[in-house]
Structure 1
């Protein structure tokens, strides 16, 4: 009986030391190297080298599950769709690769990155998050699924086309309102000054907040001190008779003092509308902004107390 016990123990030890099969998850490996090389060829426009990463029978599904195309068809589609852009690449951060082996034994490389591109004739870039799942076998891609929000690209191109086709006066307004939004997001007071009149006015919910560039810059100081990651996105706009009626979304994290109050560490996301008036040269001369202050304060955790009774 003792010998049987030791024999069983030896078998367990041997089984424990044997390989448990291939590693099911990793962030390195030859399959990941294939996808990294694919991305590099894409960024450099090295299409012949890019094409060699795919098996002859490879099928590619982009923004769908059912209608696959060949790698050569994808190459032609990429070359056509990238033609309107002066630059394009994936940002260095964030970017992530992982390799997984599924229950059927297939090896997949998952890729997450942010595609950044600038249309020809524009100085404004766009960011598009992209996800790819790529099945790699014997050093070749045999199946690929990719997903991203194409509306970001479509909207940016439509905006550029509208600007190029607009009358000269409207083009100046569109260019300067884009500078204003960028200046707010990047805390660039000089850029704002280049798009505005020295006596620019800002009214917020009907109350005069600023009457010149210096006072307007002070307002930017207040918000960027309180929300260092303060960001403005213009959601939509209509230009009529020298005025732009636009809606916007603001995001940020309260890590600095705001209106005399200690930072809360809370994130905000608030929406509003501004009516911008421009002069004959397209310079901003007045902003009338409308937004819900209570929404902002609620997100920061502030509360409103009823007045004390007599």
Structure 2
């Protein structure tokens, strides 16, 4: 009787193993690791490693189901051209999904879903675009890829920028450099785009009479907030004047206006009116912001009026 039971168990195990077959669905494995590396290479602009994941005969179809395809090299060149207009781009860490499926034909496909986020350098405008990729991988290389994403709004914005007058483009370029100078505390960069008698007014009060004094103003904030960052939320250009809404963030780890560090974070919004000369150099800034809101975020106590 024991022999019969033993033989029965062995038969069941044999049948189970035989019927299991290859894994049809998974969220892990070398193919998924390959796609993760592909995304990382794309975000880092590491195009040599990016293209190494594709077979020489790989076909890429983006936003089309037609037979027409591009080669990995053509796709790479297109990416590089479009991304050159951006100050930053990446996929959000969450939500992001990877899955591997084995089709009835025995082909392995990896599906990817993620939100792509990019910022146009010329005007600071940010776009978020959902992206779906289906990638066929065989023998450790990508053989075919389908990608779907809506570039309509992004393309319209880029076309609008390309159709701007030369003067407006010059102003936008200067705005971009102002933001870069602030974020990097690059006083030499700011001086390079400013006239010698540049002035800055803050809430109606004179803050700087030349680029050198403006540099000291930048040092004040970067000394108090080493992670100081300014983002140009939007801008409107009218002739030689630009109206820019901005957001500033930072952590107070240094002395600020004679007060010890509080280690508190700030986030404040403001408006700057920038005036440019015909060469696109900065002549004047009139900035408006709520300093009281910053003081409250830092935990400062305002004296009671007497």
Q: Shorter-chain TM-score category?
A: 0.5 to 0.7
What is the CA-CA distance between 1:217 and the residue it aligns to?
A: 0.5
Deviations 1:125-147 (A, max 9, x none): 22333343111257944543223
When normalised by structure 2's length, the TM-score is 0.64
**Rounded Cα–Cα distance in structure 2 between residues aligned with 1:248 and 1:40:** 30
Contact 1:41 1:50 in 2 (8 A): no
When normalised by structure 1's length, the TM-score is 0.64
Contact 1:244 1:277 in 2 (8 A): yes
RMSD between superposed Cα atoms in Å:
3.9
Equivalent residue of 1:305, what SS?
coil
Q: Aligned residue pairs: how many?
A: 238
Structure 1's unaligned 5+ residue stretches are 1-27, 53-61, 63-67, 89-116
**Rounded Cα–Cα distance in structure 2 between residues aligned with 1:41 and 1:169:** 36
**Rounded Cα–Cα distance in structure 1 between residues aligned with 2:230 and 2:253:** 17
Contact 1:272 1:289 in 2 (8 A): yes
Change (3 A) 1:174 1:80: same
Partner in structure 1 of residue 186 of structure 2: 188
Contact 1:248 1:272 in 2 (8 A): yes
Q: Is 2:227 aligned against 1:229? A: yes
Partner in structure 2 of residue 152 of structure 1: 127
**Rounded Cα–Cα distance in structure 1 between residues aligned with 2:78 and 2:196:** 37
What is the CA-CA distance between 1:246 and the residue it aligns to?
A: 1.1
Equivalent residue of 2:304, what SS?
coil
Partner in structure 2 of residue 30 of structure 1: 30
Structure 2's unaligned 5+ residue stretches are 1-27, 119-125, 129-150
1:136 aligned to which of 100, 106, 110 = 100
What is the CA-CA distance between 1:84 and the residue it aligns to?
A: 5.2
Contact 1:134 1:144 in 2 (8 A): yes
Deviations 1:81-138 (A, max 9, x none): 87654368xxxxxxxxxxxxxxxxxxxxxxxxxxxx423xxxx522333343111257
**Rounded Cα–Cα distance in structure 2 between residues aligned with 1:178 and 1:247:** 13
